[in-house]
Chain A
Amino acid sequence: VAQTAPAAPPGRAGTDGDRRRIRGRWRLLLGRPGRAAASGVAVLFALMAIAGPCLYPPNLPIDPNNIYAAPSLTHPLGTDFEGTDVLALVVTGSRYVLASAAVAAAVTAVTGLAVGLAAGYAGGPPDAFLMRLTDVVLTIPGFPLLLVLSTIWDFGSPAEMGLVLGLTGWGGLARAVRSQTLSLRERGFVEAARGLGVPGRRIVAVEILPNVAPYIAMNLMLSVTGAIYAEVGLFFLGVVPFRANNWGVMLNIAVFSANAVTSPQAVTYLLAPLVCILLLTLALTTLSGAADEWFNPRLRDL
């Protein structure tokens, strides 16, 4: 296996090379039809989350004459049990889901990296302790734990929801980072740095961290899709107070209050949030492949 140069001096003078590298990276995201579609979906959802709630009034209008209307020009996705536009519900509901997923991703990445790097580099008793901790986090069933936690902690806001999902979901990433760190620790360039007297903290940050990055993308993406399912699931079951509309709230009302499951005409109302969740997670999973190649040029087949 070829060794990645950990601290290769970037060619600042060669602007031509820079441009080619940037073009190569754009091609990673847009070069294949699947990835181009995934990038498009991700950008669309991001715009929806940022601008969507501003496009509609805070309280969406209801229309008693238009209950469960079929899709039309005025209501592209039809209407719900009160005659509210389903597209409006989907768009306004996206902000919460994406915001808490982003927080969950950040918390998972920081915790998983810290634990994995510390355990892998330190070895010995700290490693044993951190891995036992990781075992506990991985073994205790996460969703029942979230249900129990919801009774003592009201994590309705996206930041708190992301925090709690991140804190219960870092196990897989930590273990992957640890096993990479273990093998990197024995490599020549790390040994050389140690021999030169570089302090451990700096070795981890400068020599090991950049080489671990390629392995993070896939694990992080798995944690984030898991976090999205869990947060939507919590709202779907109705154990977290509803502050604002989101896709989980939509599903909860549709299934448990509006009896959409037994209404044949509620197809779009029931399917819209489900399809959005699927599209978002599918796009993220597809893009994690691109992220792998972005960090790890050896995987590129261009």
Chain B
Amino acid sequence: MDMCGPDNRRLPLVRLAGVRLLTGFAMIWLVASGTFFLVRLMPGDPVADQYHTDLVNGMTPAQARAATALLYGFVPRQPLPRQYVHYLWQLGHLNLGQSVSYEGVPVAHIIAAAAPWTIILVLSGVLVSFAVGASAGVLAAVRRSRPSGVLLTISGGLLYGIPQFMIAILLAYLFTTLWAVLPFGAPYDVTLAPGWNGPFAWSVITHAILPIAAYALSGYGGWLLTMKSSVISVLGDDFILAAELRGMRPLTVARYVARNAMLPLLTVLALSIGFMFSGSIFIEAVFDYPGLGYSLLNSVGKRDYPLMTGTFLVITVAVILANVLADVAYQFVDPRLRRS
């Protein structure tokens, strides 16, 4: 979210966090309303379809209404505003309706089962890409006039733009087929019984290496380029020169640089979390991982609207919250943004 508008800067931190949180919730409400009306706009109106199918199958109108309400989280044949309020009320209670393709299973359960796969992989990917990308960025800034620094910058620029499906396909092809050192497809070896034992854990880890590498490589360029430009701008600041002139140890100076150069990375963190959740659709499709992206793609393919809107909502809320958190954290760690 933006940081424009000079009047924002004079607000105390708590109020500012409150305002950001409110805009975040407003955005979530907007998206939730959008998905509600989207389902009503669907060609052939799946809600009415479901209701009529139930009627044809011999249910009484009351039964059919109840069954449809259970599936979609709102009741057909009621005035639209009533349905809308009912839908929002159910959402507030984390009731996302029931899946159509997994008959009768609540959407919230499917999402709860899928989320860990995505969250663990995305977080590992973000951590790895941050560790590698940010340190490479520092190196690229310090050695910017030497060949090694230039090479690092080029590597970041090349990887920055590459789409995730490309990275995923190339990694899979390179390391499972051309040079077959890692397993391909499914989150673990299906011949093993899931449990807390060595072979199974090993299987989960080896299957996770390539997807995590795909996330990490797709985030690497952003971290590197941001860190590099940030370190270069901090290196030119007067307080660094002053610290050097006062004869401070290089390690202390490096700490000054690091603390100040880290600030813009918070924005990259928020951006990259959104980017990774979008990318999970591709990476989970290529590597056959049963996570959120897979579940969204699957529900789109099967026209399972309750599951689709539920997954989309969860992904969007995660991205919006990441943005709000990064925004508030940014104001918190950089007092210059609060005091103008």
- B35 touches A (CB below 8 Å): yes
A/B interface sample: 10 pairs, CB < 8 A: A135-B1, A135-B23, A139-B319, A150-B300, A179-B4, A236-B282, A237-B285, A264-B177, A270-B173, A282-B161
Give the dominant DSSP class at B's interface.
helix
B286: A residues at CB distance < 8 A: 255, 261
**CB-CB contacts of B140-175 with A at 8 A, as 1s and 0s?**
000000000000000000000111011001101100
A270: B residues at CB distance < 8 A: 169, 173
- A197 touches B (CB below 8 Å): no
- A102 touches B (CB below 8 Å): no
Query: Which chain A residues have a beta carbon within 8 Å of chain B's beta carbons?
Result: 131-132, 135-136, 139-145, 147-148, 150-152, 175, 179, 225, 229, 232-233, 236-239, 251, 255, 261-264, 267, 270, 274, 277-278, 281-282, 285
- B42 touches A (CB below 8 Å): yes
User: Are B166 and A278 in contact, with the CB atoms below 8 A?
Assistant: yes
| A261-B177 contact, Cβ under 8 Å, with A136-B27, A151-B42, A152-B38 | yes
User: Are A140 and B31 in contact, with the CB atoms below 8 A?
Assistant: yes
A232: B residues at CB distance < 8 A: 163, 165
Closest A residue to B160 using CB positions = A285
A229: B residues at CB distance < 8 A: 163, 165
A237: B residues at CB distance < 8 A: 281-282, 285, 297
| A151-B173 contact, Cβ under 8 Å, with A140-B316, A236-B165, A277-B166 | no
| A151-B315 contact, Cβ under 8 Å, with A141-B277, A277-B166 | no
CB < 8 Å A-B pair total: 109
B42: A residues at CB distance < 8 A: 151-152
**CB-CB contacts of B37-52 with A at 8 A, as 1s and 0s?**
0100111000000000
Task: Give the distance in Å from the alpha carbon of A100 to the alpha carbon of B277 in the complex.
Answer: 25
B308: A residues at CB distance < 8 A: 148, 151
Give the dominant DSSP class at A's interface.
helix
Task: Give the distance in Å from the alpha carbon of A262 to the alpha carbon of B177 in the complex.
Answer: 5
User: Are A135 and B2 in contact, with the CB atoms below 8 A?
Assistant: yes
- B195 touches A (CB below 8 Å): no
B297: A residues at CB distance < 8 A: 147, 237, 239
Closest A residue to B41 using CB positions = A152
- B230 touches A (CB below 8 Å): no
Closest B residue to A275 using CB positions = B166
Q: How far is the CB of B124 from chain A (nearest CB, A)?
A: 20
Q: How far is the CB of B339 from chain A (nearest CB, A)?
A: 22
**CB-CB contacts of B1-21 with A at 8 A, as 1s and 0s?**
110100000000000000000
User: Are B165 and A233 in contact, with the CB atoms below 8 A?
Assistant: yes
- B136 touches A (CB below 8 Å): no
- 5 further A-B pairs in the complex, CB-CB below 8 A; given A144-B296, A261-B169: A135-B27, A151-B300, A152-B43, A225-B161, A232-B163
User: Are A144 and B315 in contact, with the CB atoms below 8 A?
Assistant: yes
User: Are A148 and B35 in contact, with the CB atoms below 8 A?
Assistant: yes
B316: A residues at CB distance < 8 A: 140-141, 144
